[in-house]
């Protein structure tokens, strides 16, 4: 969407604060020995208390209220009573929701407990690349140039990007124009960021894979060459200068 007045800005801020608060609280709540379903239920309760509704559940009938992916799962992991969190797990939580007609989206990968498997480097790379990408976004900038920046920064650190997972416009629904904010230079995409537009910017930084494939459950995605992936995501409003980070309170960069 494009924000045209103060009421729309306030609506997006309120929805964004709801998903940001929920994501941060879920990260803090996650504990070794907990099931991903228990963690999802906690997030669902928070969203409900804030008057928000789960976006993947509303939009796609997703079998959970948030997406929780663990280790080799890249994204869209289904919360389960059988999936028990362990020391050193690489966890990704993606929280998106609707509140009073406005939709917002954010996500974060993190390591649970001690980093016994050495995932911190990948997680930190994803965070740093997202920060650099957002700092370079303003009205008139080519979307493909930001994709090129993300891929270049990933390669510098010895990583790859997932080419079939992208950021996207958001605001009056979960996915809007621009429909693809890729993590690489898509030479066919000549679209530019527009001032006052709302966009979910996401990094998909991986150790081995370049494409994500869907498992037999119809939701969970893993890498075409295995390995691990870290994702971080903010919903922003594009300006003529530095973007307004609407989901800043999720604490991704703290």
Annotated binding residues for a divalent metal cation, written as ranges, equal: 94, 105, 168, 202, 233
User: Which are the contacts of 250, defined by CB distance < 8 A and separation ≥ 6?
Assistant: 19, 20, 21, 23, 24, 106, 108, 234
Annotated binding site: 76, 94, 105, 168, 175, 202, 233
Annotate 177-212 with DSSP letters as a single string: EEEEE-SS--TT---B--TTBEEEEEEEEESS-SSE
Structure tokens belonging to residue 51: 């008057």
Q: Residue 251's closest CA among 234, 236, 238?
A: 234
Which residues define the annotated binding site for substrate? 76, 175
Strand partners for 114: none
Length of the chain: 254
């Amino acid at each position: 969407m494009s924000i045209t007045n103060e009421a729309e800005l306030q609506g997006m801020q309120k929805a964004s604060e709801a998903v940001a608060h929920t994501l941060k609280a879920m990260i803090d709540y996650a504990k070794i020995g907990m099931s991903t379903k228990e963690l999802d239920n906690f997030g669902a309760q928070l969203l409900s208390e804030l008057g928000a509704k789960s976006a993947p559940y509303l939009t796609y009938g997703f079998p959970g209220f948030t997406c929780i992916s663990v280790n080799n799962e890249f994204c869209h992991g289904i919360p389960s009573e059988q999936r028990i969190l362990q020391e050193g797990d690489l966890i990704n939580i993606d929280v998106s929701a609707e509140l009073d007609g406005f939709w917002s989206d954010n996500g974060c990968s993190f390591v649970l407990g001690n980093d016994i498997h050495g995932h911190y480097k990948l997680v930190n790379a994803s965070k740093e690349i997202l920060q650099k990408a957002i700092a370079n976004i303003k009205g008139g900038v080519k979307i493909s140039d930001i994709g090129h920046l993300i891929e270049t920064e990933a390669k510098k650190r010895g990583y790859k990007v997932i080419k079939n997972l992208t950021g996207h416009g958001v605001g009056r629904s979960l996915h809007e124009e621009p429909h693809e904010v890729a993590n690489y230079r898509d030479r066919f995409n000549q679209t530019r960021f527009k001032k006052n537009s709302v966009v979910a910017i996401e990094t998909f930084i991986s150790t081995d894979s370049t494409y994500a494939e869907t498992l037999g459950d119809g939701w969970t995605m893993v890498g075409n060459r295995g390995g691990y992936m870290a994702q971080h995501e903010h919903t922003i409003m594009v300006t003529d200068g530095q973007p307004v980070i609407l989901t800043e309170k999720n604490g991704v960069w703290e």
